[in-house]
Amino acid sequence: MYTFKQPEILYEETQDGVSNGIPFMQIDKADGIPSALFIGSAHDSEEKNEDGETIVDLVMHMYINASSISSILSPEEYEKLRIGLGFKPTEELES
Secondary structure (DSSP) of the chain: ------PPEE--SSTTSTTTT--EE---TTT---SEEEEEEEEEEEEE-TTSPEEEEEEEEEEE-HHHHHTTS-HHHHHHHHHHTTPPPHHHHH-
- Average pLDDT estimate for 19-33: 85
1 within a domain of the structure (yes/no) = no
Provide the pLDDT for residue 14.
78
40 within a domain of the structure (yes/no) = yes
The answer to whether 77 and 85 have CB atoms below 8 angstroms apart is no
57 within a domain of the structure (yes/no) = yes
pLDDT at 41 over 90: yes
48 within a domain of the structure (yes/no) = yes
| 18 or 35, greater pLDDT | 35
Domains of the chain: total: 1
User: Beta strands 24-25 and 36-48: pairing type?
Assistant: unpaired
CA–CA dist 27, 86 (Å, integer): 29
17 within a domain of the structure (yes/no) = yes
The residue range of the domain holding 46 is 9-88
The answer to whether 48 and 54 have CB atoms below 8 angstroms apart is yes
CA–CA dist 80, 85 (Å, integer): 9
Residues 6-19 pLDDT 10s: 788 888 887 787 78
